[in-house]
Amino acid sequence: MPLTRALPALVASTGPGSFDRMPELIRPTVSLRDSWLASRDEWGRDVQQYGSGLHPEDDVDTAAGFSAWVRRLIDEGDVCVPAAPGRVHADYWWIVEDDTYLGCITLRHALNDFLLRAGGHVGYGVRPSARGRGHAAWALRSILPRARELGLERLLLTCADDNPASARTIENVGGTLEDVRETELGLTRRYWVTT
Ligand SMILES: CC(C)(COP(=O)(O)OP(=O)(O)OC[C@H]1O[C@@H](n2cnc3c(N)ncnc32)[C@H](O)[C@@H]1OP(=O)(O)O)[C@@H](O)C(=O)NCCC(=O)NCCS
């Protein structure tokens, strides 16, 4: 069975949380399209959503386009499907609460030159109305077992030097700062998190 097909739909919560309701990590699904679109509109239509796997050419406003995008996200984690040129395999999850989409997190299975320099193993984003409750740190902790399963003993986490919310998220999960360097993404903080 392909590795991603063997992934559980839900990832158990790990670490402390201060949530009124428990969030869950689920695989991307067309069933949350309306909620995802509401979140997209909160971000702004042309705003880059970190860790979402959304490309400018994805047509998420049609049911067929949304479905094709979700299919691609699932396929990107399937090691039986060759990765697109210049890309590595990646697992995508959505952070949800009941049937509400809150954000996303992605775990790249390997680092290429760009990812080692600037992008890192993980991307994440939380919709503006759901921020301030530590969902990103919770999601990051929750995917560490999957990273171990992939044989990744430590993960490279990066963020812009002027993104304190992301830097704090990484530090809250025990990230150790390796360096702050100029990259094609600007001045970038590079941390390692032990899985
Ligand atoms: C980064 C992001 C995912 C964090 O969302 P979140 O999980 O809701 O994070 P929170 O708002 O709970 O904040 C996390 C930590 O950062 C701190 N923080 C948040 N904004 C901050 C700011 N402007 N200055 C300093 N610290 C800040 C919080 O106090 C919290 O730290 P604490 O738990 O030690 O108190 C969210 O801000 C986001 O989606 N940003 C846009 C996309 C992005 O930057 N993704 C990461 C790319 S590397």
Beta bridge partners of residue 26, listed in sequence order: 94
pTM above 0.85, yes or no: yes
Tell me, what's the pLDDT at 9?
41
- Residue 165 in contact with ligand 1 by CB distance below 6 A: yes
CB 140 within 8 A of CB 121: no
- Residue 132 in contact with ligand 1 by CB distance below 6 A: yes
Under 8 Å CB-to-CB from 24, ≥6 apart: which residues? 10, 11, 13, 95, 96, 97
Burial label for 90, CB within 10 Å (0-12, 13-18, 19+), is: buried
Q: Compute, in angstroms, the gap from residue 157 CA to the centroid of ligand 1.
A: 14
Number of C-beta neighbours around residue 121 at 10 A = 26
Cα three-residue angle 17-140-181, rounded to 5 degrees: 130
Closest C-alpha to ligand 1, atom 31: 168
Instruction: Report the candidate in 95, 101, 97 with the shortest Cα–Cα distance to residue 31.
Output: 101
Tell me, what's the pLDDT at 17?
54
Residues in the chain where the model's pLDDT stays below 50: 1-16
Q: Which of 40, 97, 158, 169, when mutated, tests ligand 1's pocket best, judged by the most ligand atoms within 8 Å of its CB?
A: 169
pLDDT tens, position by position, 75-89: 999 999 999 999 999
- Residue 17 in contact with ligand 1 by CB distance below 6 A: no
Closest C-alpha to ligand 1, atom 35: 168
pLDDT tens, position by position, 158-186: 999 999 999 999 999 999 999 999 999 99
Q: Compute, in angstroms, the gap from residue 64 CA to the centroid of ligand 1.
A: 33
Distance CA 124, CA 68 (A): 21
What structural domains does the chain harbor? 4-152 (3.40.630.30)
* Backbone φ, ψ for residue 34 (5° rounding): -60, -45
